[in-house]
Structure 1
């Protein structure tokens, strides 16, 4: 008999888990408090990368996920990923050189590019340094569209998606999680996956579990649509930019977005002004809107994946870098839930590590 699995949360992490579970033959129900696509996913800068300030185990996890994104893209026609590469000079020169040397040691050589090469990659940039680095394996996607494509692929394999269905608490019997309580009563399952972003901690609290996490805010400015002005991702000091498939330039002070600190409109306007000064052809383009996302982040900054306190019937996935990691975490979670096999890359990412409990 197929294992019944509830996935709480329909952001990119929950959607990937649902897809991999359904592909493996599970009976899957995705439960979402709001509209399909979740909350944090919609406000992501949506950079797929392994190249930014990570210790080696986290780097290896990200590399594995990038590899699996390529496989998933071949399986799901609607999963449009632009493997455009990324330009990086968002560090002082000596730190940038040390960073590139570390990545080369780990097997991810970044290509050193001089001013002329930078302008060959991004000819519309008005200000460029003497040198930077180019990461050819990086990509970007449109986060909501990609998540909806994953959900549709899961539904085509038999998954059910219940939108506008808030989970009140986790249902527990004799120490085992047996499903979720909703406005229509308990929905039962053999396994319940919490991939609920910022709502993770309250759900765990309902069964007496604690996970230390935060949800820092990140603001991104979205320009009005424009003809193609950027070819890929550009990370400069204080301004990270990319252009979406519909032509909007999305900007943040870093890839996660800036903390608006109660001054969101001013910050968004300032970011747009920097974009128009940085990108030739964007002059007078104007700000269309801004988003503020709250990034679900375990207390030490790294992914938490697995059964918290070995709680039967319960599985947890919470992470920042959700766009990069969704592919691998969906695969790993499905394998562990259905076969009991835990991927070795998850060894350092237990939800029970001391920094989170």
Structure 2
């Protein structure tokens, strides 16, 4: 009988191999409070990002770029008018030429009835026309935004009363109301700004009210109210930032209307007689008989300038409106 010898094994081969320790990755230390960006820095970063995104979308609108280039050129001419033509161009006692000269090498656009250079007057008049247009549009949009947000926020009978007053201003001819105000008040640039601003706000008010109602129907407005946010907090912190794109587009579109209204008031003799504006130049041309005598160079430059500036602001406004509200599909 054959006996089976037990197989001897190496004790070391049967012992389990101790597990190697897995290196633990270093845990990053939390940033110190000084390393965290401040709330102001975060806000500015968001604003820079939004501005870059807005400009990227705006550049796709060729008409808007043409309008912006035209406005930039006119603004540069208006700002540098004291250096280009000087303030003496407005003086009727130091006129360098004779009355109603035709365009020439010395006077590219001719002269007025006092012998002043029409090119110099045109450049200098851009300052007043643009300033009045900007201020009047800003005043109109500010009034309309305030009325629209308050009416849309409170609602009820208060909103009904405010909207009926707005409708009354809306159906009344803006130019007629502006003429009435400019007639009963002293003749100055600020009177024209006030007359245009307080008569052209109803359209903005109705648009902002509709946008306010849409914004306040969103859930986060209800949460803000439940957390203790008052009327002022909701309107200033939640509603106003959401209606600002509409306000910006409305302001851009309103500037062209304000410039046309200022030119009309000045043409009717209701502007400030102590300053030179494009509408005032048209009024002077009418009084000098440029229409009947065939002095076209006296009428054409200010009229073309008004039309070009109004067109440029309209193109910019339509481009801004299309960028802020792509559903409009405004032509590019």
Return the index of the structure with the highest Cα Rg.
2
Q: Which range, TM-score by smaller chain?
A: under 0.3
TM-score of the pair, normalised by structure 2: 0.22
Larger helix proportion, structure 1 or 2? 2
TM-score of the pair, normalised by structure 1: 0.21
Larger strand proportion, structure 1 or 2? 1
